[in-house]
Amino acid sequence: MVRDEVAVRDEAVQDEAVRDTVVVRDEAVQAKEVQAKEGLAKEGLDRAAVQHEVAVQYEAAPKAEVARRSPVSQRQGRARSATWTRRLAVAALVLAALNLRPLVTSIGPVLEEARAALGMSAAVAGLLASVPAVCFALVGSTAPRLARRHGPEGVVLAGMAAVALGLALRPLAGGTPVFLTLSGLALAGIAVANVLLPVVVKQRFPDRVGMMTGLYSMALNLGASAAAAVTVPLAGAFGGDWRAGLGAWAVLAAVAVPPWVALARDGRQLTEGLTEQQAGQQSGQQAGQQAEQQSGQQSGQRAGRAAGGDAAAGAGAHVRVARSPMAWALAVFFGLQSSSAYVIMGWLPQVFRDAGLSAETAGLLFAVTSVLGVPLSFVLAAVAGRLRNQSGIAALLGAFGLAGYAGLWAAPAAAPWLWAVLLGVANCSFPLALTMIAMRGRDGATVIRLSAFAQSVGYVLSVPGPILVGALYQHTGGWRGPLAFAVCLMVPQIAAGYLAGRDRQI
């Protein structure tokens, strides 16, 4: 019985111990669960805090930084930069073109006063009319080499600075030699611009060669006509001083310099990019050749041919344009139309003054020949740029020149405005020649060489024309002989223009 009680007591103690153990275990489990819940809650709070901090940093980030990281914004920025550069190029081309002729056309209306002040004979005055052609021939031939070294834009920039300096100093000359020397300085700047402006158009506007050539040709004629019409009134505003009338055009030349500074800077960056691209093309060519040699697969052959084509496109600098009949046709056409243009610019006002018209009227008539070129040059170059053959246009312009010179020869004072209009239309042969030069070259390198060749040889051919006109005028004392000579020059010009206008490329 005692044993039974002891057994019951032991069982009770064991049950109590088991209960205590279970309670302790349950409390431990509950504590772990509480800790786990607290850990999760803390982790959630930390995650929320991190997300909040990131959101705050993103909100506080500069908008410019966010935009910079966006590919769409980067493309938009590049597009805006390209648009701004194209607009800058248009402004630079127009301002340069405005300054290519005032040096020459401003002297005609005041030539009589300048000759008297400088002691210049009629033969030397004829030489003055030929100085542009001489400078263009000698200096223009150096333009390709200068462009390869300094870039087309940089060379044109230097040319515009020379034009501004020459125009500013020329009126201060006390004698004919100094006057001719300073004129030559400005003409040297015009010479390189004449050669390289078509190149800038080809590089900057390859899809709009005709339209852009027409635009700067229009600006060229606008500058020429303004100088012819305004020089005498400008001289009158300064007490009839012909020197002030000539020197005022230096201001316009100075305005053209800043845009070319910016464009020359952009041109250097463009040249660096092209150099990298050419290096990539050469690497591609080598890779294509290796693939063709090693595997002979069709894909390697296509790569080699594509890279080889790109390298061939860049080989235009090695084309011998002097052996091309098309290049010679362009040179002869350019030279004869230049000779006619310099005869008109140098002597037309004097023809009208000798016929009894006043200096102001003669200047206005001369301005008409240039004013007509403002709209006609743009339209003509744009139309010619869309045609495959420009022979008919060249022949038509020559016919207008024949009619104008014949009218001056028969009766200069009978219908002076009609003769001026006819000769103004004929003078549009210049933008036609530039358009054909840009279209006859297969690539930019060929256009540079073709432009230099056609203009250099052409200007050499144009030198005798104005000199012979002046010599004939001094020898005969009248204009019938000189004008008959001008009529004769129009015939080979028409023939050369017909040959140069054919659909051929060099």
Task: Give the model's pLDDT for residue 174.
Answer: 82
For the cut 50, the answer to whether the pLDDT of residue 296 exceeds it is no
Q: Residue 387 pLDDT more than 60?
A: yes
Question: Position of tokens 């034009």?
Answer: 163
Three-state DSSP state, 371: helix
Lowest mean pLDDT among 59-68, 396-405, 411-420, 433-442: 59-68
Tell whether 172 is covered by a domain.
yes
Does a structural domain hold residue 39?
no
What pLDDT was estimated at residue 300? 43
Asked if 102 contacts 163 with a C-beta cutoff of 8 angstroms, the reply is: no
d(CA 286, CA 277): 14
289 pLDDT more than 70: no
Determine if the pTM surpasses 0.85: no
**Euclidean distance between CA atoms 120 and 346, whole angstroms:** 14
Q: What is the mean pLDDT of residues 179-188?
A: 89
CA distances from residue 71 to 64, 65, 66, 80, 393 in whole angstroms, order as listed: 13, 12, 10, 14, 49
Q: How confident is the model at residue 205 (pLDDT cuts 50, 70, 90)?
A: confident
The segment with the largest mean pLDDT, out of 128-137, 283-292, 490-499, is: 490-499
**Residue 423: pLDDT band with limits 50, 70, 90:** very high
194 lies in a domain?
yes
Residue 424 has pLDDT above 80, yes or no: yes
- As for how many domains the chain has, the answer is 1
- Predicted confidence band of residue 399 (pLDDT cuts 50, 70, 90): very high
Q: What is the pLDDT of residue 26?
A: 55
Q: What is the largest CA-CA distance in the chain?
A: 172
Q: 258 pLDDT exceeds 90?
A: yes
Q: Does 124 have pLDDT greater than 70?
A: yes
Q: How far from 441 is each of 3, 10, 155, 249, CA to CA, in Å?
A: 128, 119, 21, 34
Average of per-residue pLDDT across 492-506: 88
Average pLDDT taken over every residue of the chain: 76
* Average pLDDT of the residues in 417-437: 88
Task: In whole angstroms, give the CA distance from residue 230 to residue 226.
Answer: 6
**If DSSP codes are grouped into helix, strand and coil, which group holds residue 75?**
helix
CATH number, domain of 357, equals 1.20.1250.20
Judge whether residue 317 has pLDDT over 90: no
Pick from 61-65, 89-93, 203-207, 372-376: least confident: 61-65
Q: Are 193 and 160 in contact (CB under 8 A)?
A: yes
What is the pLDDT, as a whole number, of residue 13? Answer: 47
pLDDT confidence of residue 304: 40
| Mean pLDDT within 404-420 | 90
pLDDT at 489 exceeding the cut of 60: yes
Report the length, in residues, of the chain: 506
3 belongs to a structural domain: no
Read off φ and ψ for residue 239, nearest 5 degrees. 75, 25
How confident is residue 81, by pLDDT bands cut at 50, 70 and 90? low
The mean pLDDT of 29-58, rounded to a whole number, is 50
In a domain, 277, yes or no: no
286, part of any domain: no
Q: d(Cα 428, Cα 248) in Å, to the nearest integer?
A: 27
pLDDT at 144 (0 to 100):
78
pLDDT at site 332: 93
- The percent of residues in the chain predicted with pLDDT above 90, rounded, is 18
Residue 135 or 71, more confident: 135
Using alpha carbons, select from 506, 136, 130, 194 the residue that is nearest to residue 328.
506
Average pLDDT over residues 40-48: 48
Domain hosting residue 456, numbered range: 86-265+321-500
Residue 472 lies in a domain: yes
Count of helix runs (H) and strand runs (E) in the chain = 23, 0
| Residue 466 located in a structural domain | yes
